Chain A
Amino acid sequence: MIRSEIIKNLVPVLSGQLVVCNIGLPSQEMHLFGDQPSNFYMLGTMGLSSSIGLGLALAQDKTVIAIDGDGSVLTNLGTLPTIANNVRDNFILLVIDNGSYGSTGDQPTYAGKKTSLAAVASACGCENVIECQADEAVSVVEKAIASKQMTIIICKCVSGNIPVPVITLDPVVIRHRFMQSVQA
């Protein structure tokens, strides 16, 4: 299973939730399969999905699911200690780990080699770290939402992409409708 299939499968579970979508294909796939005002699409700024998600969770009480990738977490590895030391039980970080930089041509990442992001997250002090396989993603995310505990999910899958259109929504529109969803 590749990332786009995981995202497609997650659409019903993420319906109505505050979702921060990582730059590039993950945002484009989420936009294609399950666009909703409570999705925040990152159009740039690789690496900051988890940081934006944590800030959102710190500022209000609704559940926040930040969808990240292995390459993006590696870019902003400092995020894991910050998350671990600022626990918010309304925060779920879902790292779709396909072992590659999917949006740039599937170049391999170190997470697909010797580096275990689940082990890194645990070593950083994160308490509920779950590594799962692609076909378990829906049930693991469902349980994490129901648990009301901060959870870091590393969901392993194979690399590969489908063609998806770019997002042409204006960033201010994305932000505006997202903030309205937060306040609703």
Chain B
Amino acid sequence: MLLDKIVIDAFEKNNIELVTTVPCKQLSGVIAELEARASMMHIPANKEDEGMGICAGAFMGGKRSAIIMQNTAIGVTINTLVTLTQFYRLPLPMLISFRGELREPVACQVEMAVHTKALLAQLGIPTYHFHNPDDVHELDEILKYTFMCNKPVAILTDASFWKGE
């Protein structure tokens, strides 16, 4: 799919060389695109905090890193975001599937969706919400911004974004 390619192209253009993932149905295309890209190491993680640890190590080792995960992971990773990523001032682009928004078939996903932006705001994490397919063209600037300011940055991508093209 075109969006998957544009996302991974933006990662590549910004010299991201290691990406950890915990899958989501909404992200299967982008993860497949990542897996097929020889310029980037893809390290699947069993839990998102583990993935953030790998990203922290990779960045300190000299490779820009990123994580791809679902918004439910915000609940899993608050301690890691605060005591590792933010405390040591590490840049971390987080490409997040924003489940529980319009077009969501699973009621339980809404329970985390209603807290997602509030939690990110509470944590002081710059947050972007991709709702229309055209929003993808901001990704390049968002990645540049992330590596400029050395912060975790959330890119929430909802079902309308992924299905809208």
Give the residues in chain B near A50, CB-CB below 8 Å.
53
B61 interface contact, C-beta 8 A: yes
B15 interface contact, C-beta 8 A: no
Residue in contact with A171 in the complex, picked from B46, B52, B63, B87, CB distance below 8 Å: B87
B84 interface contact, C-beta 8 A: yes
- Closest CB-CB distance, A45 to chain B, in whole Å? 4
In the complex, identify which listed stretch (A76-84, A141-149, A153-161) lies at the interface while the others stay far away: A76-84
Residues of A39-92 at the interface with B, using a CB-CB cut-off of 8 Å, are: 40, 42-45, 47-48, 50-60, 64, 76, 78-79, 81-82, 86
- A55, B53: Cβ atoms closer than 8 Å: yes
- B88, A171: Cβ atoms closer than 8 Å: yes
Assembly CA distance A54 to B63 (angstroms): 13
Give the residues in chain A near B89, CB-CB below 8 Å.
171-172, 175
Residue in contact with A76 in the complex, picked from B41, B50, B63, B84, CB distance below 8 Å: B50
A132 interface contact, C-beta 8 A: no
In the complex, identify which listed stretch (A25-33, A99-107, A115-123, A176-184) lies at the interface while the others stay far away: A176-184
Chain A interface size, as a band, is: 20 to 34
- B49, A76: Cβ atoms closer than 8 Å: yes
Assembly CA distance A56 to B18 (angstroms): 11
Residue in contact with B80 in the complex, picked from A45, A60, A179, CB distance below 8 Å: A45
Give the residues in chain B near A55, CB-CB below 8 Å.
18, 43, 53-61, 65
Give the residues in chain A near B57, CB-CB below 8 Å.
20, 51-59, 64
Given known contacts A51-B53, A58-B54, A81-B46, A43 and B61 CB-to-CB distance under 8 angstroms: no
A174 interface contact, C-beta 8 A: yes
Assembly CA distance A145 to B23 (angstroms): 35
Give the residues in chain A near B79, CB-CB below 8 Å.
44-45
- B49, A174: Cβ atoms closer than 8 Å: no
> B residues engaging A (CB < 8 A)?
17-18, 41, 43-47, 49-63, 65, 79-80, 82-84, 87-90
| Sample of 25 A–B contacts (CB below 8 Å) | A20-B57, A44-B79, A45-B49, A45-B53, A45-B79, A48-B50, A48-B53, A48-B56, A48-B84, A51-B53, A51-B54, A52-B53, A54-B53, A54-B54, A55-B56, A58-B43, A58-B58, A58-B61, A76-B53, A78-B47, A79-B53, A81-B46, A82-B44, A175-B90, A179-B62
